Amino acid sequence: MRSTDGPLTKLTGVPTDDDARATATTHRGPEVSVPTAVVGMVGGGQLARMTQQAAIGLGIELQVLTAHDWDPAVLAGARFVPGDPDDLDALLALAKGSDVVTFDHEHVPNAHLRALVDAGHVVRPGPAAKLLAQDKSVARRVLGDAGITIPAFVDAAPGDVAAAARFGEANGWPIVVKAPMGGYDGRGVHVVASPAELEDRPDLHTYDRWLLEAHVDIAVELAVLVARRPNGESVTYPVVETVQRDGICRELVMPARIPDDVATRAEELAATIAERIGATGILAVELFLTRGGDLVVNELAARPHNSGHATIEGTTTSQFENHLRSVLDWPLGAPTLLAPAAATVNLLGPAEPVDLTRTVQHALEDPTVHLHLYAKAYAPGRKLGHVTVLADDPEAALGAARAAAEALLLP
């Protein structure tokens, strides 16, 4: 996969003008070893930051395409490739110095990914699989055609309230109105009770398209992570229970508190989807378990995922490490749980500013607490970090993680 001159150029420390990777490594002295691989990641947020932590042990050099040299992954030691994910030249610069290009988010024009592949670069996941994580409407169609259970849906032109009224008549109110692309943390997802309410939401009328969905009667939200290599080999992590408030994931419990047969079905479903769409790297499958006991696929994420933070301490191999191993087509690590239960609480910036330099020690008073701070400045609602605790039962893990989060976020 790697070009033959890359490591040699590095060893001699003599860069050539046209070898971006060699140029990128001139800071190294002659005693420094060659990286085992160079991975280019589009995005430098907390997911890239935790990928960098995993890269260190594997001897991988991670370089991240991101806007600022103070972004979370750069502060953790990933090489900074400045640029915007919409900029094809910046993506090409990242790709040129990397054995494989991968992602910490979904916001890259799919046509640019195809251009990278056409230029001979290795992109994992590839553009076709990535598109299903980028466009909720395409994902609905592809998964629906494959016979996978999804909410009833229809595509509509933005502002077509008549279409929404017909859809609501047929499927019941409320309905869910979504922006098919570009949303995250519940932005671009709206539960709408009536056509009149939709008329009153000018913000929704600015979307490029509407995806209208039946409102699912959710008993519990779940996520299943699969790490899949290009050769088809894959491992599936235990099902995670996710708790969202205001569309943002707040808490995670692994394994989910659901019957074993439901967990097995969810894991098989996620592995089937990864196989069918040819995913590589981590694929996160977000699922709704309905009150009727059905598993309904919500959305896909083709990258490390917020729902998998507990895999860092809670499983033999973290999702971040297995993401790197799978996009490099290396042998995968076991996804085995290391404790009866693990819980993660996300640290969202509270309304009042917090001084973590003061509160961090309070959060660490419980010796079982694992703290991950993302090096982001405080802002209300911003994901500043997370806390994970492993314990003998989910309630104990969740209780301890909540207590640590509360101590940390005390004004």
Ligand X SMILES: Nc1ncnc2c1ncn2[C@@H]1O[C@H](COP(=O)(O)OP(=O)(O)OP(=O)(O)O)[C@@H](O)[C@H]1O
Residues of this chain that interact with Mg ion (CB under 5 A) are 286, 299
Distances (CA, A) of 55 to 51, 52, 314, 318: 6, 5, 18, 11
Nearer to ligand X, 310 or 390 (CB): 310
Please choose, out of 10-18, 78-86, 178-186, 261-269, the segment that lies near ligand X by the rule CB under 6 A: 178-186
Spell out, one character per residue from 37 to 76, where the chain touches ligand X: x when CB under 6 A holds, - when not. ----------------------------------------
Q: Decide if 345 contacts 364 (C-beta within 8 A).
A: no
Nearer to Mg ion, 139 or 154 (CB): 139
CB of 100 to Mg ion, least distance (A): 26
289 binds, among Mg ion, ligand X, none (CB under 5 to 8 A by kind): none
Residues 309 and 383: their CA atoms lie apart, in Å, by 13
CB of 169 to ligand X, least distance (A): 17
Please choose, out of 177-185, 272-280, 344-352, 357-365, the segment that lies near ligand X by the rule CB under 6 A: 177-185
List the one residue out of 237, 208, 201, 216 whose CA is nearest residue 134: 208
Spell out, one character per residue from 245 to 284, where the chain touches ligand X: x when CB under 6 A holds, - when not. --x-------------------------------------
189 binds, among Mg ion, ligand X, none (CB under 5 to 8 A by kind): ligand X
Task: Count the Cβ atoms, other than its own, within 10 Å of residue 182.
Answer: 14
Beta strands 210-214 and 218-228 are: unpaired
Q: Three-state SS string across 342-402, please?
A: EEEEEEECCCCCCCHHHHHHHHCCCCCCEEEECCCCCCCCCEEEEEEEEECCHHHHHHHHH
250 binds, among ligand X, Mg ion, none (CB under 5 to 8 A by kind): none
CB of 135 to ligand X, least distance (A): 11
Nearer to ligand X, 219 or 354 (CB): 219
Q: Does 184 bind ligand X (CB under 6 A)?
A: yes
314 binds, among ligand X, Mg ion, none (CB under 5 to 8 A by kind): none
CB of 308 to ligand X, least distance (A): 12
Q: Does 155 bind ligand X (CB under 6 A)?
A: no
CB of 244 to Mg ion, least distance (A): 8
216 binds, among ligand X, Mg ion, none (CB under 5 to 8 A by kind): ligand X
E strands along 246-369, which residues?
A: 248-254, 281-290, 295-301, 341-348
The H-or-E segment that residue 137 falls in is helix 136-145
Residues 242 and 257: their CA atoms lie apart, in Å, by 11
**Residue of 280, 298, 311, 318 interacting with ligand X (CB under 6 A):** 298
Please choose, out of 50-58, 185-193, 329-337, 388-396, the segment that lies near ligand X by the rule CB under 6 A: 185-193
Nearer to ligand X, 172 or 232 (CB): 172
Spell out, one character per residue from 206 to 235, where the chain touches ligand X: x when CB under 6 A holds, - when not. -------x-xx-x--x--------------
213 binds, among Mg ion, ligand X, none (CB under 5 to 8 A by kind): ligand X
SS3 302: coil
Q: Decide if 288 contacts 119 (C-beta within 8 A).
A: no
Please choose, out of 12-20, 187-195, 272-280, 367-375, the segment that lies near ligand X by the rule CB under 6 A: 187-195
**Residue of 61, 267, 299, 321 interacting with ligand X (CB under 6 A):** 299
E strands along 205-294, which residues?
A: 210-214, 218-228, 234-236, 240-245, 248-254, 281-290
Structure tokens given for 157: 């032109």
Residue type, 196: A
Residues 307 and 221: their CA atoms lie apart, in Å, by 11
Beta strands 153-156 and 60-66 are: unpaired
Q: Which residue has the tokens 């001979």?
A: 120
139 binds, among ligand X, Mg ion, none (CB under 5 to 8 A by kind): none
List the one residue out of 54, 50, 122, 94 whose CA is nearest residue 325: 54
**Residue of 185, 294, 329, 406 interacting with ligand X (CB under 6 A):** 185
Residue 218 DSSP label: E
Q: Does 180 bind ligand X (CB under 6 A)?
A: no
The contact set with ligand X (CB under 6 A) reads 151, 176, 183-189, 213, 215-216, 218, 221, 244, 247, 286, 298-299
